[in-house]
Amino acid sequence: MKISLLTVSSLNSFAKSLLERDEYLQNVLVMGEISNFKDHYSSGHLYFSLKDKKGVVRCVMFRTFTGNLRFKVVDGMSVIVRGRVSIYEQTGQYQLYVEDIQPEGLGSFNLAFEQLKEKLKKEGLFDEIHKKSIPNFAQRVGVITSETGSVLHDILQVLKRRFPLAEVYFFPVPVQGKAAAGVIASVISKIDAKSLDVIIIGRGGGSLEELWPFNEEVLARAVFACKVPVISAVGHETDFTICDFAADLRAPTPSAAAELAVPDQREVFLKLKSLLSSFEKEFTSKIEFKKQEIRNLVLLRFSQNALRILQEKLILLDFISQRMYTESLEKVCLSREALTGLASRIDVLSPLKILKMGYAAARKGPVAIKSINDVEEQDLINLHIVDGSVGCMVVSKDKLRIGEKR
């Protein structure tokens, strides 16, 4: 057997060439657990070990490939790596040159999503305390989406139907691809808070990979920092993105986002009508209340004046009554004296007093006999004397001649 004399570097180079000539070892998948992980931020390279229960292999992933990683590599993570086997000649270190890493049992997109979600959640980007309220009457609505597809059309249709007064400002952006997240974040950061009342970020449905721009950290931070309230409407109702969690409000679809962004003009009209009716009732009630207050005040003033006038009238009435009493008393006295005199005069002329003097009053039935012509012979007459009456018959009558005495 021939023995060759080799230098260390020659040996390492020869061993390297043997490994690299094996096609199987140049594209191998290896499963294991990450350990001794080191991230050289200055160079961008990753160094770690991959181990199982019985062995360990050193691994390196150069910056050329680390840019494709969507999740953070940490110790203890079970992964499947793809790469090539070779030797680092300077140290003779056998190692695996990794070109791709996938988490075992969970896709890289899913893992990256959960890692970023947990990170931002711990920082407070999803806390309700930071959520801005959507204005009740948004008049300037910003729409950030692709200029192609049905999303923009659906949003505009809903906005026009619900609130035609709304002004729509459209910002066309890519919604898919590696550059999309950065472009959308840049547009959001340039929006003046005074120019818009609310922003809708939307796109249609798709796979997790297609929706990935809305799971990028740069976009989440731009949405969180935006001074204008943001409604996120990415994908279908069952799709959730990091953008949804960072936004002030999530809508299940772009059309639903438009519904949430502006009020319904019919509801506004009915509410205004109801408010106007309530205002009229309240206004009328207050006017009636004020009128009653004025009535009460006038009545109070009138009552006070009336009471004063009444008191004055009562005093005057007392004075008049007293005077009337005095005058009446005087008149009564005078009238009594007059009546006494009149009674005396009447007494002198009283028929009874005349009858007492021996005179009689003759009557023919109920009629007083005043003349001889009032009776005839044989008539029955009554003579009324002072203490009774006497029935008589006219036997004869003798008429008194003028100038004749009896």
For 261-273, how does the pLDDT look when each residue is reduced to its tens digit (9 = 90+)?
999 888 878 888 8
Asked which of 241, 263, 285 is the last residue of a domain, the reply is 263
What one-character DSSP code corresponds to residue 99? E
pLDDT of residue 260: 93
- Pick the residue with more confidence: 300 or 156? 156
Cβ atoms 43, 64 nearer than 8 A: no
Query: Is residue 399 a part of any domain in this protein?
Result: no
Which tokens belong to 111? 């893992």
Which tokens belong to 290? 């004020």
Query: Is residue 364 a part of any domain in this protein?
Result: yes
Q: Specify the residue for token string 């959507």.
A: 134
Indicate whether 121 and 100 sit together in one domain: no
Distance, in Å, from the CA atom of 146 to the CA atom of 202, rounded to the nearest integer, reads: 8
Query: Is residue 398 a part of any domain in this protein?
Result: no
pLDDT of residue 406: 52
- Give the CATH number of the domain where residue 64 resides: 2.40.50.140
Cβ atoms 34, 74 nearer than 8 A: yes
Short-list 187, 188, 181, 185, CA closest to 211: 181
Indicate whether 226 and 246 sit together in one domain: yes
pLDDT of residue 402: 53
Indicate whether 26 and 119 sit together in one domain: no
- Give the CATH number of the domain where residue 214 resides: 3.40.50.261
Average pLDDT over residues 118-137: 92
Indicate whether 31 and 95 sit together in one domain: yes
Give the DSSP per-residue string, 19-78: HHH-GGGGSEEEEEEEEEEEEETTTTEEEEEEE-SS-EEEEEE-HHHHTT--S---TT-E
Indicate whether 291 and 175 sit together in one domain: no
Query: Is residue 385 a part of any domain in this protein?
Result: yes
Distances (CA, A) of 108 to 73, 206, 212, 278, 404: 10, 17, 12, 60, 175
Indicate whether 123 and 195 sit together in one domain: yes
Query: Is residue 121 a part of any domain in this protein?
Result: yes
Q: Which helix (H) or strand (E) holds 395?
A: none
Identify the bridge partners of residue 320 per DSSP, sorted by sequence position.
none
Average pLDDT over residues 127-139: 92
Distance, in Å, from the CA atom of 271 to the CA atom of 256, rounded to the nearest integer, reads: 22
Provide the pLDDT confidence category of residue 46 given band limits of 50, 70 and 90. Answer: very high
Provide the pLDDT confidence category of residue 396 given band limits of 50, 70 and 90. Answer: confident
Cβ atoms 250, 232 nearer than 8 A: yes
Q: Which helix (H) or strand (E) holds 248?
A: none
pLDDT digits (tens, 9 = 90+) for 62-114: 988 988 887 788 888 888 888 999 988 888 889 999 998 888 765 667 777 87
Rg (CA), the chain: 65
169-178, 187-196, 320-329, 390-399: lowest mean pLDDT where?
320-329
Asked which of 263, 296, 311 is the last residue of a domain, the reply is 263
Indicate whether 242 and 121 sit together in one domain: yes
Indicate whether 213 and 239 sit together in one domain: yes
At 17 the three-state DSSP class reads helix
At 330 the three-state DSSP class reads helix
pLDDT of residue 58: 92
Query: Is residue 182 a part of any domain in this protein?
Result: yes
- Pick the residue with more confidence: 321 or 139? 139
pLDDT for 248 beyond 70: yes
Query: What average pLDDT is seen over the chain?
Result: 83
Query: Is residue 247 a part of any domain in this protein?
Result: yes
- Pick the residue with more confidence: 239 or 181? 181
357: containing domain: 353-393
Short-list 31, 82, 27, 75, CA closest to 53: 31
Indicate whether 302 and 259 sit together in one domain: no
Indicate whether 192 and 293 sit together in one domain: no
Q: How many domains does the chain have?
A: 4
As a dihedral over the C-alpha atoms of residue 95, residue 101, residue 104, residue 110, rounded to 10 degrees, the angle is 160
pTM: 0.52
Short-list 215, 224, 36, CA closest to 111: 215
Distance, in Å, from the CA atom of 144 to the CA atom of 155, rounded to the nearest integer, reads: 11
Which tokens belong to 131? 């959520």
Indicate whether 244 and 214 sit together in one domain: yes
pLDDT for 251 beyond 70: yes
pLDDT of residue 95: 92
pLDDT of residue 6: 79
Indicate whether 119 and 242 sit together in one domain: yes
